[in-house]
Amino acid sequence: MLRNIPKILPPDLVKYMMEMGHSDYLVIADAGFPAAAHAKRLVRMDSVEIPELLEAILPFFPLDYFVEDPVRLMQKLPHEPEVTIWETYRTLLNKYDKDNAFKEFHYLERIPFYEEADKAYVVVQTGDTSRYGNIILQKGVCA
């Protein structure tokens, strides 16, 4: 056992995050995301909501400040209501982004989002049922 690792983080996810290099992608997916079809490595966390997972990951996970958009979301359709969970993400990112890499979200349409997920080092499938809850984090330099 190790100290101060949040109990919510399973050992395989910690291992994958440790293996990730600069610019690798971590996808945290909602319950409806086709994770098995897009993941090279898949971690299932069906009883976890995305905000609680972000709260556990972000203290350890530097965002890539060498790129303009280290945080990507799936773009909603214009006629759909605002996505309230994104403000929760913004709050958590601003709280833990020590390198000030996060400026604003970058939005991708659904198919381009899936194409980016195909490149991810790891995809975490949660049980979160929030609409448009999927988020891609690009890992930065640990300094």
Predicted confidence at residue 1, as pLDDT, reads 66
Structural tokens at position 99: 């390198």
Please state, in angstroms and rounded to a whole number, the distance separating the CA atoms of residues 132 and 6: 25
Q: For residue 143, is it within any domain?
A: no
Domain with 119, as residue range(s), is 11-138
State the residue for tokens 């709260």: 55
- CATH number, domain containing residue 95: 3.40.1650.10
Q: Is residue 106 part of a domain?
A: yes
Count CA atoms closer than 13 A to 5's CA, side-chain side: 12
Q: Say how many domains are in the chain.
A: 1
Q: Over 70: is that where the pLDDT of 90 sits?
A: yes
Provide φ and ψ at 47, rounded to 5°: -100, 10
Does residue 56 sit within a domain?
yes
Q: What is the pLDDT of residue 20?
A: 97
Residue 38 lies in a domain: yes
C-alpha 25/C-alpha 72 separation (Å) is 10
Whether residue 88 is contained in a domain is answered as yes
Question: What are the tens digits of pLDDT across the range 38-76?
Answer: 999 999 999 999 999 999 999 999 999 999 999 999 999
Catalytic residues, by residue number, are: 22, 64, 114
The predicted structure's pLDDT at residue 3: 85
DSSP code string of 54-100:
HHHHTTT--B-TTSS-SEEEEPPPTTSPP-THHHHHHHHHHHH-TT-
Identify the CA nearest to 142 among candidates 38, 4, 20, 10.
Answer: 20
Residues sharing a CB contact under 8 Å with residue 5, sequence separation 6 or more, in sequence order: 14
